Structure 1
Amino acid sequence: MSTSTTVEPTPPSSLIPSLPDDVALNIIARVPRCYHPILSLVSKSMRSLISSPLLYTTRSLLNSSQHFLYISLRLPTSPVLRFYTLYQNPTKPKSLKNILVPLPLIPSTSLAGSSFASLGHKIYVLGGSIADIPSSHVWSLDCRTHTWEPAPNMHVSREFAAAGVVDGKIYVIGGCVVDNWARSKNWAEVYDPKTGKWNAVPSPVEIRYKWMHASAVIDGKVYAMADRHGLCYEVKSGSWGTVDTDLDNGWRGRACVIDGVLFCYDYLGKIRGYDVKEGIWKELKGLEEELPRFLCGATMANLGGKLIVVWESKNGGSKEMEIWCAEIEVKKDEGGELWGRTEWSDVVLTVPTRSSIVHCLAVTL
């Protein structure tokens, strides 16, 4: 007579021995994310938790979420956009504390003129052109696991469009030639991640310009800076308008908004802020010694209320160039003047010459 033995399945290991998993989850959720790679080596259960939505939901409920910077670069040695995240490790020496870490390649050929938006734990890459042909494709990067996946396509192919997030939805404006009914109707679109659908945003015919060179969201309005002049769309009322002449004339490059003030650089390469309520530009003072005198070409982001400035530094005839990053605390004094204090400034990556910064933005995890 033959006998068979039944192999009992191995029960999943607990996250922390001798502790209930719900208690362990509350402990692990408080651990800074820079230590997650080490925690993932502890056990299979821990590795599974580190990449699960449950951990990030718990971190949010416990107010333990952190802000992370993501940067896209165009390298002469790569046919696709390269994405990096700023890795800040307080345990490392100064020379290694702030570095850009490469992420998996986006599964798309070279995209030029894409727009970018950060919504929840995802970064969306919207449109762009492939071999000079505009695309309607959208890719999303899950910043919890650093994995790429396709998102629903826009109704219209776009390049150099404006993009902004208001009330959990992504708005894209322009970036297309209005030469048929479909492009005219969908010149502006909105994406709702809850339904996974794009819908047209009604817009007057006379404002439908082709290219947008910059965009930002201020007080529920999406600002889209066109080649001729700027536009703004107020989401709550669904109304369109033009921007103040001073804002239009002074906005240069890729800006960011902190506490209702839009920061960018001026024609002399210095950082200035535009207070929409006051309607005037003001120089960001206090940075004369920490930053280069001429910052033209810099890219900026709001990282948890701090101003992040990223710029390229070319070293003469060298075959390499440096990507610099600075984190700046900004505040307004009693007289309404803007002041900045540089918390740190570092070389975060060395790349081949002829590389360029495409975009940077922040994600909360």
Structure 2
Amino acid sequence: MAASNTDDALETPSPPPLPLVPSLSYDVALNCIARVSRFDHPNLSLVSKSVRSVLASSELYVTRSFLGFSEHFIYVSFRLPPGPCSRWFTLRRKTHRTLPTATNSNRTGFLLVPIPSPPSPPPVGSAYVVVGSEIYVIGGCTGDVPSSSVWVLDCRFHTWRRAPNMRVAREFAAAGVVDGKLYVIGGCVVDNWARSVNWAEVFDPKSQTWEPVPSPDVEVREKWMHASAVMEGKVYAMADRKGVVYEPKEGRWDVPEKRLDLGWRGRACVIENVLFCYDYVGKIRGYDPKGRVWRELKGVEGLPKFLCGATMANCGGKLAVLWEGKKGSGGSGKTEIRCAEIAVERRGEGEIWGTLLWSDVVLTVPNASAIVSCVAVNV
């Protein structure tokens, strides 16, 4: 009997995938590629279509994580003129390194390169936190109207998506991640029962749901929070008057010691349970919650005083500082954005020392620009 031309017809087998590396099996080749630094992926993508496809796959990042070859990358957002224009950048190594010349003073080979920005108008006063390989941009204010929206940047592929909205709209809220869950505190006026119940809430990325965090004993219910951090599994939320500390494991609220707020305004980061920030005279200091004392970071006297326009992040255990440098005069109208990487360590009787690894200009922007956020992501 002749073979059927319909259901019984033999399917034409699909061609086997092109090999990633000749003479190597797919799994072995994938393991080799996963060990290549992400800084070198632009060059590696030129090898072949099959390699380029793997570099853009989630399978590669699962393998990198399993092998322990993930890396930390700096992500920065700027507010650029004219108008409320927001642009996102990531710190990358230059593809082709060049020696410094009279017109090229960047000696380290690191530059901030643009990546896609969120599709919606940029809000003012958003909170920024990192969950895994993603950055959450929480709330903010657009046209004097607070927002409950949440945008997520997947740093593996530089794509944006919407996450479920918060239960209430917020601006200048405090936020922190403990055990994979995202806690948001304040940023809303407690003028009715619904906002009072939801003054703090928590987001579970696994279930994609927001739930209220009971806060019956909290005396400070400020609208705006000027700083937040996570230390020893606790979320610190600092307001203009006092502040609050929330410990998720115990479900307990507390008031931080007064000394914690001295010189700490906003842009800070935590490395090995030491809070680093720049104080009111522009020096970098570290706060140890156990000793309850601020200490100056020694060994970095060559850095400028960060009176404004600076921020910092924990980049794989090293302190990354980003600041607005020299402003252009005359018709140039450009500001240098500088970055420094500092290795920090404790010495002697609680002293904190830093070793400057590198410092250089990584971007130039119009004079009226401002750094909005700076975070480090493990990818």
TM-score of Structure 1 vs Structure 2, range by shorter chain: over 0.9
Matches of 2:293 and 2:95 in 1, distance apart? Answer: 39
Q: Say whether 1:167 aligns with 2:179.
A: yes
Q: 2:197 aligned with 1:188, yes or no?
A: no
| 1:110 to partner: Cα distance | 2.6
Number of the residue aligned with 1:338: 352
Unaligned runs of 5+ in 2: 1-10, 100-105
CA-to-aligned-CA distance 1:171-213 (integer Å, 9 cap, x gap): 1100001122221111111111110111111113532211001
| 1:233 counterpart = 2:233 | no
- Please list every run of 5 or more consecutive structure 1 residues that lacks an aligned counterpart in the other structure: 1-5
Is the contact between residue 314 and residue 353 of structure 1 (CA under 8 Å) also seen in structure 2?
no
Q: Could you tell which deviates more after superposition, 176-185 or 303-312?
A: 176-185
Identify the residue that residue 98 of structure 1 maps to in structure 2: 110
Corresponding residue for residue 102 of structure 2: none
How far 1:294 sits from its partner (Å)? 4.3
| Counterpart residue type for residue 53 of structure 1 | S
Residue 81 of structure 1 corresponds to 86
Which has the larger Rg?
2
Q: Cα offset for 1:41?
A: 2.7
Match of 2:225 among 189, 212, 219: 212
Asked if residue 355 in structure 1 is aligned to residue 369 in structure 2, the reply is: yes
Please show how residues 247-286 of structure 1 align to structure 2 within 5 Å. 247-286=260-299
Structure 2 residue identity aligned to 1:121:
S
Q: d(CA) in 1 for partners of 2:305 and 2:84?
A: 33
Secondary structure (helix, strand or coil) at the match of 1:264 reads strand
User: Equivalent residue for 2:29?
Assistant: 24
Q: Does the CA contact (< 8 Å) of 1:137 and 1:153 recur in 2?
A: yes
The answer (yes or no) to whether the contact 1:75–1:81 under 8 Å persists in 2 is yes
Greater CA deviation, 43-52 or 183-192? 43-52
How far apart are the structure 2 equivalents of 1:126 and 1:223?
17
Of 259, 265, 268, 1:246 maps to 259
Measure, in 2, the Cα distance between the counterparts of 1:215 and 1:171: 11
Q: What are the within-5 Å matches in structure 2 for residues 141-180 of structure 1?
A: 141-180=153-192
Residues paired across the two proteins, number: 359
Deviations 1:217-237 (A, max 9, x none): 000000011111121101111
> How far apart are residue 77 of structure 1 and its match?
3.0
Deviation at residue 10 of structure 1 after TM alignment: 3.4
Distance in 2 separating the partners of 1:14 and 1:57: 20
Say which of 27, 30, 43 aligns to 2:48. 43
**One-letter identity of the residue aligned with 1:92:** R
What RMSD over aligned residues (CA atoms) do the two structures have, in Å?
1.7
Q: How far is the alpha carbon of 1:46 from its aligned partner? A: 1.6
- Measure, in 1, the Cα distance between the counterparts of 2:328 and 2:96: 34
Name the CA distance, whole Å, in 2 between partners of 1:235 and 1:89.
42
- Post-superposition, which runs of at least 4 consecutive aligned residues in structure 1 deviate over 6 A? none
The answer to whether residue 128 in structure 2 is matched with residue 116 in structure 1 is yes
Change (3 A) 1:251 1:31: same
Q: Deviations over 1:70-117 (max 9, x none)?
A: 011111136332111000248623627110011112111131000001
1:304 is aligned to 316
Provide the rounded CA distance (Å) in 1 between the counterparts of 2:326 and 2:96.
Answer: 30
| Corresponding position: 1:326 with 2:331 | no
CA deviation after TM superposition for structure 1 residue 43, in Å: 2.6
TM-score (norm 2): 0.91
In structure 1, what is the Cα distance between the partners aligned to 2:245 and 2:94?
A: 39
